[in-house]
Structure 1
Amino acid sequence: MRTLTLGARRVGYETRVYFRQGDTIFFTFLFPVVMLGIFSVAFQGLGNVGVKPDGTGGVPQAAYYLPAMIAAGILLSGVQNLAVDIAGEKGDGTLKRLGGSPLPVVSYFMGKMGQVLATSVLQIALLLVVARFAFNVALPTDPAKWVTFVWVYLLGITTSAVLGIALSSVPRSGGSATAVIIPIVLILQFISGVYLPFNLLPTWLQNIASIFPLKWIAQGMRSVFLPDYFESLEPSGSWQHGLTAIVLLIWLVVGIIACRLTFRWIRKDT
């Protein structure tokens, strides 16, 4: 009970610290919202996406990019936010001090995971509000689609958070964390169907992207927010929900093992 109590308190503490950092708020919290606005306005002159041969159907640019920005937000909240944050705490000695305190490591990670969950939920809520009221995007009305949204989101955010913790051991110092982590995150977004339509990418690049979880998170979100006939535009011709769950679970296990093997309160070379 003490571990759980301390973990719950850490969630509140970590969330307050998160919202006190202006650069973090912009680059992990508001960035997907800003990008949704930019893509929606910049490409609206191109007309609807996915128009059928007879000229019917299609969705506005804002509706097309909404699932991609939700997927990007999950990646930013989990991988980028935690990897940079924890690497910084290692560099400035915060983790070393915590390691010498009575705080259990489980409580520490409960705080980090809780903060990611809380902020990502707020971020997605903001994205949905902006899409609905600023760009008049029609949100799903089928309960089954929202069930899909929930499990894809929970698997995606948990996997991203665990991988972010594992990646925090890669930067040599807190100062180099952004230079190491952000390019990785940016490349994944470009090859995983976030900024560019996935079906337009070369086959070899699609195959590379399919190794990583972001492609599957984005595909899962497209299955929720895009009409069913968009399924035929996927390279496989299917939303592949089963494979999405398998890939994300595999990465979750890999991330947990990597965290167990690499996480230390202080760097080995300190």
Structure 2
Amino acid sequence: MTTTPAVVRTPARTPRVRAIAAPSALRIGRARAVLEVRQFFRNKGAMFFTFSMPLVMFLLLASIFDETDKATGVSTQQVYVTGMLAMGVMSTCLQSLALQVGGERHNGTLKRLRATPMPPAAYFLGKIAMVVVTSLVQAAILLGLGAAFFGLELPADPGRWFTFVWVYLLGATACTLIGLVASNLVKGENGGPVVLLPVMVLQFISGVFVIFSQLPKGVQIVSAVFPLKWMCQGMRSVFLPDAYASVEPAGGWEHGRTAMVLAAWVVVGAIMCLKWFRWKGEDEG
């Protein structure tokens, strides 16, 4: 009698399941940035208002006031270009952002986004990318218009462009943070004037619509507290000749003080944003 050898069965191997790592906040932020930029350029009304407002104001002022300072050789049209550059940054990064975020809070978009696994940092990265892209496009249009028709000379010195970069970055960062906090003031569809009025007042007292050296001394002191005055002065130091520095109230460009004030507003804006930014409206608890 023959015996059948025993068959040894090996246990079946369980296939390994690879854990899928959750995407990082930076990766989600990049995707959010692309979405925000696309949404902006698809919104024809917002795009038209954002780009046309500084251009229309500049063309009006440049056509009405056409004088040249004999001591410096700088025309008022060239000065207005630099003021509109700073105005464009504030209008986009503060005014437009506050209205947009306030609208998203009012219609419940912020509340729904906060309930998703998306890190809050990704939302802010998306908004920052949107305002950076739009404000840079706006600046390029203004500089092209000023250089082509109003005698603005684009600097050949890399140092001046470096000044433009840090003035722009500090100013845009400060305005963006303040804009996020100011969005709390936008309640419903009629909350725009709460943001628009202070921004318009700052434009008049900071050297955008009126040559800063022609403003009363008391107004100059008040405007020096806020970032727009220093953004305008920083832009003048980039695109106007050094001879114009003698027209400034302090007799110079004051780059150190400009950087200090703008950096202080970045810190203040960050603290206010961390403390007071809300994802839900007041009536939602």
Instruction: Report the TM-score, using the length of structure 1 for normalisation.
Output: 0.93
Q: Deviations over 1:139-197 (max 9, x none)?
A: 222221111111101111111111101111123x1313311111111000000000001
Q: How far apart are the structure 1 equivalents of 2:116 and 2:48? A: 32
Question: Among 251, 254, 267, which residue is 1:240 paired with?
Answer: 254
1:217 alignment counterpart? 231
1:19 corresponds to which of 41, 44, 66: 41
Residue 4 of structure 2: aligned partner: none
- Measure the CA separation in 2 of the matches of 1:213 and 1:60: 24
Question: d(CA) in 2 for partners of 1:135 and 1:206?
Answer: 27
Please state how far the C-alpha of 1:130 moved relative to its aligned partner.
1.2
Q: Distance in 2 between matches of 1:17 and 1:39?
A: 32
Q: In structure 2, what is the Cα distance between the partners aligned to 1:21 and 1:34?
A: 20
- Percent identity, aligned pairs only, is 43
Deviates more, 1:70-79 or 1:1-10: 1-10
Secondary structure of 2:116 counterpart: coil
The structure with the larger Rg is 2
Alignment check: 8 A CA contact 1:82 1:165 kept = yes
Partner of 2:181: 166
User: Where do 1:178-189 residues align within 5 Å?
Assistant: 178-189=192-203
What aligned pairs does 1:1-270 form with structure 2 within 5 A after superposition?
2-44=24-66, 47-48=67-68, 50-52=69-71, 57-171=72-186, 173-270=187-284
Q: TM-score, normalised by structure 2?
A: 0.88
Cα pair 2:74 2:244 within 8 Å, conserved: no
- How much has 1:246 moved relative to structure 2? 0.7
- Segments of 4+ moved more than 4 angstroms: none
CA distance in 1, matches of 2:250, 2:76: 23
Query: Is 1:73–1:120's contact at 8 Å kept on the other side of the alignment?
Result: yes
The 3-state SS of whatever aligns with 2:184 is coil
Residue 3 of structure 1: CA displacement?
1.1
Task: Kindly tell me the number of residue pairs found equivalent between the two proteins.
Answer: 262
Tell me how far apart the structure 2 counterparts of residues 226 and 198 of structure 1 sit (CA, whole Å). Answer: 14
Determine the C-alpha separation between the residues in 2 that align with 1:111 and 1:236: 39
